[in-house]
Each structure stands twice: as C-alpha cells, then as structure tokens.
Chain A
C-alpha cells in the first residue's frame, strides 16, 4: 500500500505482508522508518542502531 513519508512527505510503498517492527527506507529521502502498526498503518522515524545491537 502507498503511504506518505513522515520525513519528506513523498510517497512510499509498504508491502502488504509487512510486519510491525520492520524498517523501511523512503526512496525519496532515504530516511529509515519503523512500521509501528500495520492496521492502521503507522510509521515513525526508525531508532538509530545502538552499540549493543546485533548478534
């Protein structure tokens, strides 16, 4: 589904099989966005990776 980037207001497509918590990148401004909710669709600026992230 198409939605509006909360950073640049451009259009980005969120795949229908997305999960809450996935990170998507806006093709217009490259801002990384976290899907906070899929129904209804809610996006937020993704958190910056922290030093203890990873395996």
Chain B
C-alpha cells in the first residue's frame, strides 16, 4: 500500500519529504485537501493507509485528519493531536494536565473577561488568538491602554472564534526561545531562535542557531509531544528567570527549515522513518 501525503502547497519541508520518499522508492499518493469532499470517489483505497499530514492550512489539516480516520486511514499526526495543537487553549489544558511547566494562561471569550485576565496576571502579558501561526495576531501587552485597544479590536472581529483569545503570562518577552523537534518519542535536538521582534518565529525573520539541549530540555520536549499525543512535534520553550524552562506551544505540522540548516539533522529522513516499517526501505544517503 502506498504512503499518503496530505498537502496543498509544497514548502521547503514538503519538498524535503517528497525527495526523501523518492530516494527510498516509497510509493506515494498525494492527497490535496482542497479537492477532497470525501465522496465515495475520494475515499477509495484510504482504509489502512498511513497519511503524513503536511497541509499548510490548520483548518483543512484538522478536518482532513478527522475525515481520514473516519474512513479508516491513519493520519500522522493523528486527528486528536492535530486538533489539540491547532488550538492554543487546548494545548495549554493538555500541558497542564500532564504537569508540564507552561506559562499561566486564561481564556478570554469577551473584552471584559480579557481585561480581568490581564489585571490578574499583571503586565506585561500576551494576547493570542486561539489559532494562529507564524506569530500572527500575537500581541505583547505592556499597559492597560494597549490591552483595551487590542481586546476592543478582537471584540469587533466578525467571527466568534476569532473574538475568543487567550491571555498568557509573558515569560522574558524578547529573549531567545528554543525549538526542539520530537519524532517518535525521540528529541532530535534543538535550536535557539533570536529576533529583533519580541516573537522568535523563523517565518518572521528570526535567526536560528544550534543549541545543545540539556537533559531537561530533551525530557520536556518528549513529554510535551506525548501530552498532546503527537508522534511528530515542534516544541517551543523559553527559559524562565529562575533558570528552569517552560513550554510555550507544540506544533503538529512542524516547519523545520531553520532547524535542519542550524543543526544538520535530517529531519525529513527521521519523519519518513516514523512511518510504518513495511513502507520504508532503508537506504543510506549517497
């Protein structure tokens, strides 16, 4: 049976994965969620198929993962991990449930609740949409006027989902953060990300350097991935003022361009090897 790969846009990461699969002569079926309505013609042959979920759209990725499971396929990551990682509040709840250090976070469905949440956490605080990527709409709030302005803008958004935000304790905003990548229960390493922006997303221009992860970072990355149920995960952490580490978020469809370039680790190969062994012919790199 071929390996499925769910994607629409091919970025660096998908190119690396497709190339690695070609190199290993793994038969691949591409599934484009933009064209799948899960009508009978779409679901033929899905039963039992492992499908790497590399869809760029968070909503399409979550819907497709759930649908694939319903029709007997095995998305990687699974639908639950994709859903949890796609929602920052759900991720926070899982991390808390599993006893993983993470910044104090409060749910803010309304402007008033948001103001109360910020008042209880103190300044600075961070406002984040439930779902966002690349740091979009993530705001560092340094005073009451900024809080009111951002929350008023959120409250004016047309979608109820977009109006709901989380308010999070700001942990050393502007300091570098750490990204670890976990595949199949193993932390592949870590990078440290720095930026002139207070957000350290590589997609926003942050620079990445290799970081020798301590045993604590290794352990936290593996535990955070397990908490959200992800076989493949990008775990973002930051060092607290007391020297310990806290997990900011977990990504289920991890981007690894900056990680591969900084560390030399072949993440694409490790991800391919996380697929069922009968699909993957091990070939040494040429």
Chain A CB within 8 A of B57 CB: yes
- A34–B7 alpha-carbon span in the complex (Å): 13
Contacts of B56 in A (CB 8 A): 53-54
Chain A CB within 8 A of B90 CB: no
Judge whether B203 and A54 touch: CB under 8 Å: yes
Chain A 16-49 interface mask (CB, 8 Å, partner B; 1/0): 0001111100000000001000000000001100
Contacts of B132 in A (CB 8 A): 51
- A21–B203 alpha-carbon span in the complex (Å): 19
Contacts of A51 in B (CB 8 A): 132, 136-137
**Shortest CB–CB separation between residue A54 and chain B, in angstroms?**
3
- A19–B32 alpha-carbon span in the complex (Å): 13
Judge whether B251 and A53 touch: CB under 8 Å: no
If over half of B's interface residues share one DSSP class (helix, strand or loop), that class is named, otherwise mixed; here it is: loop
Chain B CB within 8 A of A2 CB: no
Judge whether A55 and B234 touch: CB under 8 Å: yes
Judge whether A20 and B133 touch: CB under 8 Å: no
- A19–B30 alpha-carbon span in the complex (Å): 11
**Shortest CB–CB separation between residue B257 and chain A, in angstroms?**
11
Judge whether B30 and A53 touch: CB under 8 Å: no
- A52–B57 alpha-carbon span in the complex (Å): 5
- A20–B9 alpha-carbon span in the complex (Å): 8
Closest to B254 in A: A55
Contacts of A23 in B (CB 8 A): 9-10
Chain B 17-54 interface mask (CB, 8 Å, partner A; 1/0): 01000000000001010000000000000000000000
Contacts of B234 in A (CB 8 A): 55
Judge whether B133 and A55 touch: CB under 8 Å: yes
Chain B 241-269 interface mask (CB, 8 Å, partner A; 1/0): 00000000001111100000000000000
- A21–B7 alpha-carbon span in the complex (Å): 8
**Shortest CB–CB separation between residue A55 and chain B, in angstroms?**
4
Closest to B61 in A: A52
Given known A-B contacts A51-B132, A55-B234, A21 and B57 have beta carbons under 8 A apart? no
Closest to A51 in B: B136
Contacts of A55 in B (CB 8 A): 133-134, 234, 251-255
- A47–B58 alpha-carbon span in the complex (Å): 15
Judge whether B131 and A52 touch: CB under 8 Å: yes
- A22–B18 alpha-carbon span in the complex (Å): 12
Judge whether B203 and A19 touch: CB under 8 Å: no
Known: A21-B8, A54-B134. 12 other contacts (CB 8 A): A19-B15, A20-B10, A21-B7, A22-B15, A34-B9, A51-B137, A52-B59, A52-B131, A53-B134, A54-B58, A54-B203, A55-B255
The 10 closest A-B pairs by CB, nearest first: A54-B133, A21-B10, A52-B58, A55-B251, A54-B134, A22-B10, A55-B255, A19-B10, A53-B56, A52-B59
- Residue numbers of B with Cβ under 8 A of A are 7-10, 14-15, 18, 30, 32, 56-59, 131-134, 136-137, 203, 234, 251-255
17 A-B contacts, Cβ less than 8 Å apart? A19-B18, A21-B30, A21-B32, A22-B9, A22-B15, A23-B9, A52-B59, A52-B131, A52-B133, A53-B57, A53-B133, A53-B134, A54-B56, A54-B134, A54-B203, A55-B251, A55-B252
